[in-house]
Amino acid sequence: MTILHNRVSQAELKKRLYEENEFRITISFYQYFFIEQPALFRDELYKGLYNLKGFGRIYVASEGINAQISVPESQYENFKLFLDGYEHLKGIRLNIAVDNDGKSFWVLKIKCREKIVADGITDPDFNMINKGKYVNAEEFNKLSTDPDTVIVDMRNHYEYEVGHFENAIEVPSDTFREQLPMAAEMLQEKKDKNIIMYCTGGIRCEKASAYMLHRGFKNVFHLEGGIINYANKVKEEKLSNKFHGKNFVFDDRLGERITEEIIAKCHQCNEPADDHTNCKNEGCHLLFIQCKKCAEKFEGCCSQACKDIIQLPEEDQKIIRKGIDKGRMVFNKSKQRLRPRLNED
């Protein structure tokens, strides 16, 4: 009988991952399609991927699937065959990680959600059928040189900060649901221009392109497979690379390097840096950029206060963090959020 939920501690699972001898391939994919019984579909997926020794994070909803996973190299072909068993996933584009050490995930988590991308859209007339036109890497490069083209980054501020396309507009927000109406308002006076939207793997910009068309925009495009697919195609087809810096990813790597350029700065000392980390104080766990010198100075913490806390016995730390609501603990430079805390000595 296949277990449908993990029952092993996170620490033990991570230990097992680092003891594995076989290399793992990190993959992301998504598809918008109607799923009548998401919970049943979720359980089928779990059984199949569990048997393939797959790890990762997958969201399933009536509107489709959003997946980031890793599988042992020897299981990759079997994994593709497994997906091909589903009509709407047959031959699906798989984004292979650009900068992959095989240690992206150590547990399989598949959850049912109301939507695979939380968008805040409540208009019953909105649907994903009418969406923007795909552009591949070569088409993106060509269209991006047109003065009548606007490139829009549909990722969060902390993703944009470490890497983005040339001349891309940032929509400074904490969430995708905030971004959609904000992007439409920002671009109102550019309705007659070509609008190219992009994101990490394609799922957000595809929905964003449909939303922009719904809001009355006409010439809307979205980058096929997002930054990940673009970076791979640029290498394969020897194209000019219009992306600069690092691509933030939502797994244990927290980023994959596309170019050697470092375009961001440490949030503590302001020196060039683009490595994201989570504050080691479990009562904080702030996501921020930290250089190696500051990581050593603050022992992986965002402030001296948090550094002092992690020196305390674990029982004392538990008392301090009891009842704390961390909320969305992400450093937002565009809003100067939490900057006083990060500048503490």
Q: What are the catalytic residues?
A: 199
| Contacts by 297-306, CB closer than 8 A, 24 or more apart | 298/268, 302/267, 302/268, 302/331, 302/338, 302/341, 302/342, 303/279, 303/341, 303/342, 303/344, 304/344, 304/345, 305/341, 305/344, 306/279, 306/280, 306/281
User: What phi and psi, each to the nearest 5 degrees, are found at residue 30?
Assistant: -155, 160
Dist. CA 13–CA 109, nearest whole Å: 13
Name the β-bridge partners of 287.
Answer: 278, 330
Given a contact cutoff of 8 angstroms between Cβ atoms, the answer to whether 52 and 24 are in contact is no
Shortest CA distance to 306 belongs to which of 341, 260, 269?
341
Name the β-bridge partners of 112.
Answer: 60
Name the β-bridge partners of 70.
Answer: 26, 55
User: What phi and psi, each to the nearest 5 degrees, are found at residue 220?
Assistant: -110, 130
Dist. CA 37–CA 22, nearest whole Å: 35
Class of residue 36 by CB neighbours under 10 A (exposed 0-12, middle 13-18, buried 19+): exposed
The structure tokens listed for 241 are 């690379």
Q: Which amino acid is at 189?
A: E
Element (H, E) at 39: helix 38-51
Class of residue 317 by CB neighbours under 10 A (exposed 0-12, middle 13-18, buried 19+): middle
Strand residues in 236-286 grouped as ranges (E)? 243-247, 256-257, 276-278
Shortest CA distance to 121 belongs to which of 237, 213, 255, 4?
213
Element (H, E) at 112: strand 108-112
